[in-house]
Structure 1
Amino acid sequence: MSSRQLKKLERAKLEASNNEEPDIEEPVVLNQNKGFNAFSFLGDGNEEEEEQEDKEEEVVEEVKTPKKPSSKKKKKKAKQPKKDEEDSEDELDKILAEAKAKDQEKLGSVEPIEDDLEGVADFEEEYNEITQPMISYDSNFKNFTTERLSKCLALLSIDNVKNLDPDEELKNLFGELSLETIEDANTTTALSITPDVLKQFKRLARLTKGWGGKDRRSVPGSNRKLLLTRIKDDYLPTTIKPLQMEELDDDSVLDIFDYKEDIAEVEELQLKIRKEKKLGVKYFKFNKVHSVRDRVADSQFYASVVLAPDHDALFALLNNHPYHVETLLQVSMVLLRQGDQKSTSNALIEKCLFVFDRCFHMFFHDTLAEAKNGLLRLPYESFMNRQFQLCIFRYIIGLAERATFFTSFNYCKLLLSINPTEDPLGVRYFIDFYAIMSGEYKYLTQLADSPLVTSYTKWFTPGIAFSTALAYIHLNDMENAKKALKRAHLSHPYTSYRLLETICISPQMPIKESDVKVNEEIILSAETYMVRAKLLWNDSEKIKFLTDELMKYFIEDGVSATTPSSFSSMVSKFFKGDTKPKDNKEIPFNLLRFVILSGENSLMAKVPQNIWSRDDIYEFDPLPPKVTTLGYDARTGIENNKVVDYALDYVNQDILATLIQNRTQTDEFDDIVRQIQQQE
């Protein structure tokens, strides 16, 4: 029951108590024509039903409190002091406040920190006093406190959901004359499809109520519009959603925090979760829809990609299951490797994004629509959350190929915002490129000085460091450009050397790169910037500035451009304790994932060989989080009730065994599927 209904009922009770005769007990007359409605207590937010209930309640109030003849006793009531009325009002306010609190709880509002945690030590207070960035990552990234997060919400925000629409950017670039071209692009198909089949799809679209609409953003079963994509002609019209999205409760969030934690107590983690909720942070996860059809698709995918790679089987699977997320992403990569089918590959990635787009949780959808995405979290421990983030990563690359850099930049902010601490796909290693290419120079300078970068030394990546100096140059702020370049040089001297060697105006290099002993992480992170540096430093004046300043910094460090021995001593000073290559276990996983997913040969060549020998590097899920707890199912041998899930968790072992044992005959496979359907 809503607070508005409670208020009316309570007011009716007060009026009845103020007006009733003390020695006369009046019966309560009920509206016998109105049936009992069990759903009226659920508060489902149906405004029309609430308005009808309000009208009916007003009728009930009139029946419950009929007019009475005036009497002396009633006059005495009227002459009572106002204190009684104020007490009644206070009691009413208290009741309404409690009702409002319950309503807000249903809507997902923030609860105050409970008394049982008041005595718990708040580790965030200690971290807030730390002013220097932490060198190493700690469990749960505690140095990035809730207070620091609150200061970064504006930097994580996409500002306007239209900034995620590449068509809006094309309109800004080419004007209204390009609308027909944009519409033609939106009607292209993902895979080759015959005109007859396309005609059938269009007929189905007309028969499927709520499919598409004039703006191509309507989906059946919801009044909400798509935010990230538009429906294309070759999207099979269907009312069935292949995924669901749920909000995680506090216990589920605590499980995620706890499984990664090695220092803080559970009560301390609970306190952090409460503080995040007070700020408005919410956690979500995508779930697969459990059905025999979906488990068949999951099993066929796993067999065709992991156990016995088969591209033909993968394409057949996509024809039978056009909205299977993993298949869409994998087939897009197969087409991309063929070299001449980039447009089709990008269309499949966009179709995959559509699958997620239509399945957003209502609160997630509305919060994203309001550009408050900095409060939304998708833990990387969930397999389908990983698929969503992988889809966005690849969509960013496709947008960049269309030169819609501003849209790419905003998707970078979205991808960073849903997991700003772990940054599982390494957005900090490439967001600077899209910021420069889209002219968001001021944003980059603000990002470099924000807790999103200053909380940990590794968050100040070579890209952010050196591109910030370039951003100040674009802003004609040469003084801050020199300061930023100096800061970048001191933080990443090896990248300075690589820039001097590759970008600058052919100075006489003081030493060979092979003579500089650094660890594998430094080499790999430097290459993430060098792979795009020439596209950024593409102006002769900027290159001259870079050359002069870097040479000056090397000289200031006591190095002559013609004395390699001095340079070697300088390198030792910069890399004190790091002159020997370290074990690559210290390479951050987000850096490795970014390198693997980038597809850049120069980058992947610098990945340590033993990384490639791991058994958990797949294009559809590279280097997933590891589970440290066991809970085996006796029949399947698969872990259950765990924080992290994998593709194998959605596979049916009987179907998988049948597929592997006899891939050419379908009779036995069909029998297995029928048996599973009967069991359900």
Structure 2
Amino acid sequence: MSSRALRRLQKNSLEDTLATLAPGADEEETDVDYNAVRTKTPVNMFALMGEGDDEDDDEQEKESSDNGQTNEAFGTHVPATTAIPDSKQSAGKTQSKKTSRNKKKKKRANKNTKKHPEKHTDLREGSGTDEELDQIIKQFQDKEKSADVHVGHSSGSDFDYDTANEEEEEEEQFTYRQKGRVTMVTDPGFTHFRSYSELSRIFGSIDMKKLNPDYEYKLLFGDLSAESLADVDSMTSTHVSPQVMRQIDKLKSMVRNWGGKDHKTVPNGSTVRRLAFTKIRNDWIPTARGEFTICQLSQEEVREWNAWQRPQDWMDEIETTCRKLEKVGINFYKFEPSNADLNRKAMTEFYMSVVLHPDHEALINLISTKFPYHVPSLLQVALIFVRQGEKTNSNGLVERALFVFDRALRAHITFNGTACQLPFIYFYNRQFYSAIFRYIQILSQRGAVSTASEWCKVLWSLSPLEDPLGCRYFIDHYLLMNKEYGYMIKLANSALINTYKEWYTLGMSLGFVLSYLKLDRIDEAKLEIKKAFQQYPESLTSIFVQGALGDSSYLNGLQLPEESPNSALEVKAYLIRMKVLWGGTELKFLGDQIKVVIDEYKAGAIQVSAANNVKSENPFFLGGYMVNLLRFAVLSQESPLMACIPEEIWSEREVYEFDVLPPEPHGRETEELIESAKSFISENDLNMTRLEMMQDENLINQITQMSLEQFLQENPNAGIDE
């Protein structure tokens, strides 16, 4: 009950007492006065609704003080105009201060009264109604408080799920990995992966300076002088005539901030960009603006991309995943042409020269005269040079393509697994993936194993979960060649390997075994072989015979479950590079331990897993094969590996070297979402180009026919056989 109600009750009780003691008052008048007082002071139903009542009381007291001063004890009224003696003014001021202090004390007491209303004692009869009202209001407030607590707990549960329960989720994942991993067949959206801290733990050590092979060369050959490196930088990446070099030098004087002393400064519109991992070569034509800009994806674009990955999931679940990705700080980007018109013209001519009317000479002329930094053309011509045996020119074109992307990157972007992820559904993102893959091959041929290993990490970090080019099938080779055994063991215990069954590849499993052996951790190597056999029993027997040179008769009578179609490709891919990594001692250990595991399997002490059936709606599988494994097989250019790809994949899908097995839309609603080469081509320009080519062909045919007729006229006996 509020202080206002208490004061009213106190006033009414005091008036009743004085009325009974006053002379000449009978009981009847007293009762009438008491009833009149009760009717004049009705119960205020909002008496307990807050501190606003105290403010009303203060206003009411202020009004009474303005009209006059009332003596509540004796009922005498002092007019407001009555003068107060000067000798009593100080006492009045002191009394007013005490009154204000008393008011503050009453307010504090009021709050305590609201917290403990049951401690009140009523001062008059008939106050039971106020008690009941107090109890009703208290019950109502308690219900509201309980509702607020419930709502606050439910709203905070999402936050707890995202942050506070990460340790519980990791423990749950660990226990789950002990029982068996889930498969991407049933979870194409990677919803079981929750250890996002693993991304920074695995990819946080990537250093931009290690992406330049010069850094590795300095470590290998410490006596290299700065002049020697400058001579290397001044070399051209492709064969260029002296006349062309003079023209390029003239352009350099016209384009500001091109190159610099370290060959790493480049203009990009109104700004100056410092290259992160490439250097400008002397034969590259100076331009004032780059070909691409990098743009961060909006929330709607991220949601559409996730919806394409999970066509059978509810949109609410997809939005929950998107909020999760945003909360953990993962940023998604895509490369876009900075000049749409020029890019459209270049793509039209490229499409005509590669797809519709293949013409290598026209394609080479495209990058040498019109569009020197058109990435699809650069990568395609680089492959043409490889087949012609011109590896030097091929390597220079791949470096130039990589330079185009380096020029477009922002200064704050790093490849740590979270700061820059590139969805594979965008065409020029896929070109960046292809350029990196080609560059890794070039570095390995040059012997720059450490730089190649670092670039493998970069390629994987651009989309660690999807892994569109199958880094898990070949990164172990470069890590082991660079003797990064500790990094391999870190991967062996990482959620990026153990969350899904498909992530634990055959190459990775045997790479973990070799890493433990190199570090003299024999027991853990034996456990890793047993773990690999449980998932890849048939593949490990093939490695036993073909790789470890074991006796094939030891496998007689061995009944193993059929593995997935990926196994043949994985075994072939691993056998191609196995001899480079495994020495004689390691091979003997591997063969002996496989025998031990086979004996345990025959005795029933080991259970192996069966293959999974793949649904057609899953975008990461194609004909029962992992699509990233197929891309790796095509890009590797290894004939034995490509021969293992089923013929129906070559016939049912258009496999182009400039865009190997791109993602496909699920329906009309995702046709515009998945970018392809046709997304940047104008049909009108394509038809005009076709018409021009047909006219040129007709003209050539007419000239040839005229020349033939003239020749026959001059040599009438040329076609007669004697």
- For 2:334 and 2:381, locate their aligned partners in 1 and report how far apart those are by CA, in whole Å: 24
Query: What SS is found at the alignment partner of 1:295?
Result: helix
**2:594 maps to what in 1?**
550
Match of 2:497 among 453, 473, 477: 453
- For 2:254 and 2:384, locate their aligned partners in 1 and report how far apart those are by CA, in whole Å: 34
**1:324 maps to what in 2?**
374
- For 2:393 and 2:476, locate their aligned partners in 1 and report how far apart those are by CA, in whole Å: 28
Output one character per residue of 1:102-128: Cα deviation in whole Å (capped at 9) or x when no partner. Answer: xxxxxxxxxxxx999878799988976
The answer to whether residue 638 in structure 2 is matched with residue 608 in structure 1 is: no
- For 1:511 and 1:579, locate their aligned partners in 2 and report how far apart those are by CA, in whole Å: 27
Match of 2:324 among 275, 290, 297: 275
- For 1:482 and 1:250, locate their aligned partners in 2 and report how far apart those are by CA, in whole Å: 47
**1:522 maps to what in 2?**
567
Output one character per residue of 1:48-85: Cα deviation in whole Å (capped at 9) or x when no partner. Answer: xxxxxxxxxxxxxxxxxxxxxxxxxxxxxxxxxxxxxx
Query: What SS is found at the alignment partner of 2:655?
Result: coil
Give the direction of change, closer, same or farther, for the CA distance of 1:392–1:514 in structure 2 (3 Å limit).
Answer: farther
1:316-465 matched pairs, under 5 angstroms? 316-319=365-368, 320-338=370-388, 340-360=389-409, 362=410, 365-368=411-414, 372-465=416-509
1:234-249 matched pairs, under 5 angstroms? 234-249=283-298
| Aligned residues of 1:389 and 1:415 also touching (Cα < 8 A) | yes
Give the direction of change, closer, same or farther, for the CA distance of 1:513–1:214 in structure 2 (3 Å limit).
Answer: farther
Match of 1:596 among 624, 634, 644: 634
Q: Which runs of 5+ in 1 are unaligned?
A: 1-113, 560-568, 632-638, 669-680
- For 2:537 and 2:631, locate their aligned partners in 1 and report how far apart those are by CA, in whole Å: 24
The answer to whether residue 693 in structure 2 is matched with residue 630 in structure 1 is: no
Deviation of the 1:337 alpha carbon:
1.8
Match of 2:348 among 276, 281, 299: 299
| Aligned residues of 1:163 and 1:410 also touching (Cα < 8 A) | yes
Deviation of the 1:556 alpha carbon:
2.3
Query: What SS is found at the alignment partner of 2:652?
Result: coil
- For 2:667 and 2:598, locate their aligned partners in 1 and report how far apart those are by CA, in whole Å: 50
1:452-491 matched pairs, under 5 angstroms? 452-491=496-535
**1:36 maps to what in 2?**
none
| Aligned residues of 2:332 and 2:422 also touching (Cα < 8 A) | yes
1:643 is matched by which residue type in structure 2?
Answer: L
| Aligned residues of 1:584 and 1:608 also touching (Cα < 8 A) | no
The answer to whether residue 544 in structure 2 is matched with residue 500 in structure 1 is: yes
Match of 1:657 among 687, 690, 694: 687
Deviation of the 1:228 alpha carbon:
1.8
Which deviates the most, 221-230 or 403-412? 221-230
Match of 2:214 among 153, 167, 174: 167
Give the direction of change, closer, same or farther, for the CA distance of 1:497–1:648 in structure 2 (3 Å limit).
Answer: same
Deviation of the 1:667 alpha carbon:
13
Deviation of the 1:457 alpha carbon:
0.8
Which deviates the most, 591-600 or 612-621? 612-621
- TM-score, reference length from structure 2: 0.68
- For 1:665 and 1:343, locate their aligned partners in 2 and report how far apart those are by CA, in whole Å: 37
- For 1:579 and 1:629, locate their aligned partners in 2 and report how far apart those are by CA, in whole Å: 23
1:252 is matched by which residue type in structure 2?
Answer: E
The answer to whether residue 144 in structure 2 is matched with residue 144 in structure 1 is: no
Give the direction of change, closer, same or farther, for the CA distance of 1:160–1:554 in structure 2 (3 Å limit).
Answer: same
Deviation of the 1:209 alpha carbon:
0.9
Query: What SS is found at the alignment partner of 1:244?
Result: strand
Deviation of the 1:458 alpha carbon:
0.7
**1:186 maps to what in 2?**
233
**2:263 maps to what in 1?**
216
1:337 is matched by which residue type in structure 2?
Answer: R
Output one character per residue of 1:630-658: Cα deviation in whole Å (capped at 9) or x when no partner. Answer: 27xxxxxxx97x22111011112122123
Deviation of the 1:511 alpha carbon:
4.5
1:100-139 matched pairs, under 5 angstroms? 129-130=172-173, 131-132=176-177, 133-137=181-185, 138-139=187-188
1:459 is matched by which residue type in structure 2?
Answer: W
Query: What SS is found at the alignment partner of 1:220?
Result: strand
- For 2:612 and 2:466, locate their aligned partners in 1 and report how far apart those are by CA, in whole Å: 24
| Aligned residues of 1:243 and 1:288 also touching (Cα < 8 A) | yes
2:510 is matched by which residue type in structure 1?
Answer: F
- For 2:424 and 2:450, locate their aligned partners in 1 and report how far apart those are by CA, in whole Å: 26
Query: What SS is found at the alignment partner of 1:557?
Result: helix
Query: What SS is found at the alignment partner of 2:413?
Result: helix
Give the direction of change, closer, same or farther, for the CA distance of 1:236–1:515 in structure 2 (3 Å limit).
Answer: farther
**2:134 maps to what in 1?**
none
Output one character per residue of 1:289-319: Cα deviation in whole Å (capped at 9) or x when no partner. Answer: 3443321110010111111111111111111
- TM-score, reference length from structure 1: 0.72
**1:645 maps to what in 2?**
675
Deviation of the 1:439 alpha carbon:
1.0
Output one character per residue of 1:179-199: Cα deviation in whole Å (capped at 9) or x when no partner. Answer: 555444433333321112112
Deviation of the 1:321 alpha carbon:
0.8
**Residue correspondences, number:** 527
Output one character per residue of 1:315-343: Cα deviation in whole Å (capped at 9) or x when no partner. Answer: 111112110010001001111122x2122
Deviation of the 1:240 alpha carbon:
2.1
Deviation of the 1:574 alpha carbon:
4.3
Give the direction of change, closer, same or farther, for the CA distance of 1:512–1:355 in structure 2 (3 Å limit).
Answer: farther
| Aligned residues of 1:520 and 1:584 also touching (Cα < 8 A) | no
**1:534 maps to what in 2?**
579
- For 2:247 and 2:691, locate their aligned partners in 1 and report how far apart those are by CA, in whole Å: 37
Which deviates the most, 261-270 or 371-380? 261-270
Deviation of the 1:550 alpha carbon:
1.5
Give the direction of change, closer, same or farther, for the CA distance of 1:649–1:159 in structure 2 (3 Å limit).
Answer: closer
| Aligned residues of 1:521 and 1:587 also touching (Cα < 8 A) | yes
2:267 is matched by which residue type in structure 1?
Answer: P
Deviation of the 1:357 alpha carbon:
0.5
**1:231 maps to what in 2?**
280
Give the direction of change, closer, same or farther, for the CA distance of 1:429–1:172 in structure 2 (3 Å limit).
Answer: same
Give the direction of change, closer, same or farther, for the CA distance of 1:347–1:473 in structure 2 (3 Å limit).
Answer: same
- For 2:444 and 2:396, locate their aligned partners in 1 and report how far apart those are by CA, in whole Å: 14
Deviation of the 1:422 alpha carbon:
0.8
- For 2:682 and 2:462, locate their aligned partners in 1 and report how far apart those are by CA, in whole Å: 31
Give the direction of change, closer, same or farther, for the CA distance of 1:294–1:263 in structure 2 (3 Å limit).
Answer: closer
- For 1:359 and 1:579, locate their aligned partners in 2 and report how far apart those are by CA, in whole Å: 42
- For 2:402 and 2:557, locate their aligned partners in 1 and report how far apart those are by CA, in whole Å: 42
| Aligned residues of 1:332 and 1:345 also touching (Cα < 8 A) | yes
1:654 is matched by which residue type in structure 2?
Answer: N
Give the direction of change, closer, same or farther, for the CA distance of 1:256–1:543 in structure 2 (3 Å limit).
Answer: same
| Aligned residues of 2:417 and 2:464 also touching (Cα < 8 A) | no
Q: Which runs of 5+ in 2 are unaligned?
A: 1-151, 699-722
Deviation of the 1:504 alpha carbon:
1.9
Q: Computing the radius of gyration over CA atoms, which structure comes out larger, 1 or 2?
A: 2
Deviation of the 1:205 alpha carbon:
1.7
